[in-house]
Amino acid sequence: MTGTLRFQGAIPANLLPFNEDLSFDEVNYRRHLSWLADVDGVDAIVCNGHAAEVSSLNREERRRALAIAADAVGDRVELISGIYTDNTLEAAELAKDARAEGAAGLLVFPPTVFMWGARLRPEMAVVHFETIAEATDLPLIVFEYPPAIGIGYAPETLARLAEIDQVVGVKDWSNDMVALEANLRALRGTGRPVAMLSSYTMSMFGSYVLGADGSISGMGSVTADLHAELFRAVKAGDLDAGRQLNDRLGPLVEVFYAPPFVDMHNRMKEALVMLGRIDKAVVRPPLRRIGDEERERIRGALLRSGLLLP
């Protein structure tokens, strides 16, 4: 590879705290962002991602969420803003919004219409990214979904997207080590400095060992410190230390990503309350808060991970 990677290392995707009336809880949002920015090894944070319940945010709320983050921690870390929409023209407008509010990069979600067969029409993905690239000078990160969902890009498509000058990374959520390796080889084969940022949180250790340049993770909203330490250990070749950290992350992976998967970020909010990092775990509908039995499982996992003291 040539050049310098634009984004690398442990990049958490922040959660977004809400008040009981479902408005932004700005005080706790700033507390959460500040904790993330203070973690040694965190040089960037993703805003307006799945972890921030982006699908429940309107355009102005997305601007405001990013503006608050820029004011709170923009002098300490780079901010990557999610571009979440099925509309390519709207994606270009959202990109302009993010640029105006101080984003240093964009994480581009695949339009859900792609599940209807766009894997066989890769030119649709190319046009989507080229349109966004024409609207802003910000670097772009491709969000790769699991192939089984139908939205994931083929390795050859990722390589084609990597030819776009502004594409500097891929957030790989393929959730399959074989697929992740194929995607990694495709990116490396381009010769461009496009970062492979693993979102395979259920096997972060394995993806780091395989050669990922870092990670983007919603679970990092809780475990950014462990992810950063794990990345440093693997980069230094200390696999024993990496295994120990992986063992600490294991209980949390198990409870956060248990069925139903849709509750993963609800659970992470509950964990932040238990850790004293935010005051309440309010989520926006249609999401619903979890029950007491599940909270106890999360508490047990935090204890086993060593993040929560008895």
- The pLDDT-based confidence of 114 (bands split at 50, 70, 90) is confident
- pLDDT at residue 75 above 90? yes
Q: Are 190 and 158 in contact (CB under 8 A)?
A: no
Contacts of 100 (CB under 8 A, 6+ apart): 63
Q: Which residue has the tokens 């969420």?
A: 65
Domain boundaries, the chain: 9-238
Predicted confidence (pLDDT) per residue in 125-166, tens digit: 999 999 999 999 999 999 999 988 888 999 999 999 999 999
| pLDDT at residue number 3 | 54
pLDDT tens digits for range 248-307 = 999 999 999 999 999 999 999 999 999 999 999 999 999 999 999 999 999 999 999 999
Asked if 162 and 180 count as a contact pair (C-beta separation under 8 A), the reply is no
Phi, psi of 99 (to 5 degrees): -60, -45
Cβ count within 10 A of residue 162: 22
- As a residue count, the chain comes to 310
Rounded CA separation 47/12 (Å): 9
Question: Global pTM?
Answer: 0.96
Closest CA to 270 of 285, 278, 281: 281
Round to whole Å and give the CA distance between 266 and 280.
11
CA-to-CA separations, 299 to 83, 126, 201, 275, in angstroms, rounded:
33, 44, 19, 9
* pLDDT (0 to 100) of residue 1: 37
Please state whether the peptide bond connecting residue 146 to the residue before it is cis, i.e. omega within 30 degrees of 0. no
pLDDT of residue 4: 62
pLDDT at 242 over 90: yes
Two tokens, residue 54:
């982006």
- Provide, rounded to the nearest whole percent, the portion of the chain with pLDDT above 70: 99
Give backbone dihedrals phi and psi of 216, rounded to 5 degrees, phi first.
Answer: -125, 120
Q: CB-based contacts of 90: which residues, under 8 Å, 6+ apart?
A: none
Q: Is the pLDDT of residue 53 over 80?
A: yes
Q: Are strands 105-108 and 195-198 parallel, antiparallel or unpaired?
A: unpaired
Q: Show the beta-strand stretches assigned E in 35-95.
A: 44-47, 78-83
Task: Indicate the pLDDT class of residue 66, thresholds 50, 70 and 90.
Answer: very high
pLDDT of residue 2: 40
- Protein fold of 9-238: TIM Barrel (3.20.20)
pLDDT recorded at residue 282: 98
